[in-house]
Amino acid sequence: MSSEALTTTGYIKHHLQNLTFGQHPDGSWGLAHGAAEAREMGFWAIHLDTMFWSVFLGALFLWVFRKAAVKATAETPSGFLNFVEWVIEFVDENVRSTFSHKNDLVAPLALTLFVWVLLMNTMDLVPVDWIPQIAHLLGIEYMKVVPTTDPNATFGMSLGVFVLTLFYSIKVKGIGGFAAELTMQPFQANSPILKILFIPVNFFLEFVSLISKPVSLSLRLFGNLFAGEMIFILIALLFSGGVVFALVGGVVQWAWAVFHILIVLLQAFIFMVLTIVYLEMAHSHH
């Protein structure tokens, strides 16, 4: 860890800094050594830690569920298989109760998002210093292990959902039907003149509503997990204040971790449910 991490402010900044790879102002490519260099790299910089942990946890999800599928039998499941089946049934019930159309993509997508987001959120329960210290011993200066505390990850997932929403809106309703949905409501009139006058107003309102879906979907997840991670970092500072503060920090950390389990589960569930709802709206004719 750099010397900046010896101060309270430096410690917080260090734990909130991503391992960033990009192009320096002089044209060379490499890792950023601080927030200032990361900002100079601009839009095309890559957060290597976010990419690594999100891909790793996604691969872990695929491996675990494939292993369960291979071991599945007609007999009554137990242990690991019972847990995987319970997760699948839980997601399937939510899809059936929310999505009223025929689309074989929705249930697998909902399952993937729920488990993937849940795994990424769960990394927030790992003590904040463990993995960064291991990374430091390996010569890696920065390491954020919770991908959902990075808005690039949450916006990436929400934009994927948004693209699917647009695709199915046009596929199901046609370009004309989707355009009418954006321009012919909520204000309606029998007079042709009023209909024309209402088009820009309706389009503005519906366009704002449409764009707000990926924005709210991503910011809700990012905001809750970032706040949780920040609290864990602040609690970790108590351990450097002596025995009494360390004892207080241990109790507070345990209490916050127990409460944070609810946030971890709830945010994964909300992300999945809103995805199903948005796809349901994309398939529905107004």
Active-site residue set: 216, 220, 224
User: How many Å apart are CA 230 and CA 98, to the nearest integer?
Assistant: 34
User: How many Å apart are CA 279 and CA 242, to the nearest integer?
Assistant: 53
Q: Nearest-CA neighbor of 52 among 5, 30, 13, 20?
A: 20
User: DSSP assignment, residue 29?
Assistant: E
The sign of the torsion formed by the CA atoms of 78, 79, 81, 85 equals positive
User: How many Å apart are CA 237 and CA 249, to the nearest integer?
Assistant: 8
In degrees, to the nearest 5, what angle opens at C-alpha 58 toward C-alphas 53 and 64?
Answer: 120
Alpha helix (H) ranges present in the chain?
Answer: 8-16, 35-40, 48-71, 80-98, 106-122, 130-137, 151-183, 192-237, 243-283
Cβ atoms < 10 Å from Cβ of 242? 10
User: How many Å apart are CA 138 and CA 144, to the nearest integer?
Assistant: 15
